[in-house]
Amino acid sequence: MIFTYEAFNNSGEKIVGTIDAERKEEVAGILYEQHLIVSKVNPVKSGGSIRVKADELIIFTRLLATAINASVPLTRALEITMEELAPSSPLRIIILSILHQLKVGKALSDSLYMYQNVFSELFVNMVRSGERSGKLGQALSEVLKYLTKRYELKKKISSALLYPGFVFGFAVIILGFFVSVIIPQFKESYSSFGGELPEFTAGLMAVADWFRANFVYLGIGVAGAVVFGRYYFRTDKGRLIYEKILFNLPVVGGLYKMDLISRFTRTLSVLLLNGITLVDALELVQGVVNNRVFEATILDAIHNLTQGKSFTASLKQNKYIPTILIQMAAMGEESGRLAQLMDNLSDFYEKEVDVAVEKLTSVLTPILIAFIGIIIGVIVIGLFLPIFNLSEMVK
């Protein structure tokens, strides 16, 4: 059984780690022999309670693949991998559990399947394919390549959108400051003159008053809309509507579609290159793409293939699939090189996603800056307009 523990060494330094023992009482004895004083011991339940970051999973896969490719036995490879991880890493718990499962005769793929929230179906099935073919190291290397490319792509997208997000957040703060602080001060100053404000200024202050008076209700309304949207868009109908909206958005729609196709082709190529049949590969890809429109196309393709029909025919029925993907799929089916062509196409689309991200950033940033300038300009004009008519304001 796997336990996590907190202990202190002779120097008073706190140490956190994991240990495999039959009972909780044995943990203190084992650690005492290592000159550690135990403060806390908890059993670990395998499965859904453990969460692992994408970069940590990449490190685990790289270490394990390197050890296996160096002809290190699987058990020893896992032990070496665990030694290289941080003591507090949740992957140490998983490795201890896997080692325990291997001792009782389970396969590595079956042990990984126990942690479905950490290891995807793609990961598990690639490992299973490697076990059956005797090329586990090669299979892990392919998984590592896939995980690394997806992680790098996600980082590029999030990094590119960071600056526009900062600009938008700054705009909201500035507007809030004007509405809650600046405009009320100007209103108080002008009210002392006793004159009538210009219509533009009076309207601006009325809008500011309305926002201040209804701020709580607006917050509740926005929060309610977000909660409802998250719930509705998780339903089959709502998800389909959400995806169609994404497909048709300018700039963002193109980026979403290219990332989706990149994920589809990359996953399919990795599976096919490792000896998984096209039907089985498509069943796994269906869970990876996470898109109702593409999932329907994949299901249709699986049905066609089981009926002896063409894979390409199903792709043609999806209007969101670009012509180049259909042509490459057709050439791959005819030549028997579908895996290689899908791999080449995924490289192409990953580069296209990079370009699309840069375009999105270059479009969003000036629009947001112009938006801030216009809003602040309108507010400033409205606030200072009475000064030009000061003689009419003073009574």
Q: What is the pLDDT of residues 142-162, one digit of tens each?
A: 889 888 888 888 887 777 777
At residue 183's C-alpha, the angle toward residues 179 and 189, to 5°, is 160
Q: Is the pTM of this model over 0.85?
A: no
Three-class DSSP category at 18: strand
Give the ranges where the chain is alpha helix by DSSP (H): 24-33, 54-69, 74-84, 90-103, 108-113, 121-133, 136-177, 183-191, 199-213, 215-232, 236-248, 252-273, 278-289, 292-306, 311-316, 323-335, 338-388, 390-393
Q: Which CATH class is domain 54-148?
A: mainly alpha
Distance between CA 393 and CA 395 in Å, rounded?
6
Please state the domain extents for the chain.
Answer: 2-43, 54-148
pLDDT digits (tens, 9 = 90+) for 117-150: 888 888 888 888 888 878 888 889 888 988 888 8
Beta bridge partners of 43: 3
Quick one: pLDDT band at residue 2, thresholds 50, 70, 90?
Answer: low
pLDDT digits (tens, 9 = 90+) for 73-96: 999 999 898 888 887 788 888 888
Distance between CA 363 and CA 367 in Å, rounded?
7
Strand pairing report for 2-8 and 37-43: antiparallel
pLDDT digits (tens, 9 = 90+) for 275-316: 788 888 888 887 777 788 888 888 888 888 888 888 888 888
Cβ-based burial of 385 (10 A; exposed 0-12, middle 13-18, buried ≥19)? middle
Task: Give the right CATH number for 2-43 from 2.60.40, 3.10.20, 3.40.1000, 3.40.1440.
Answer: 3.10.20
Same fold, 2-43 and 54-148: no
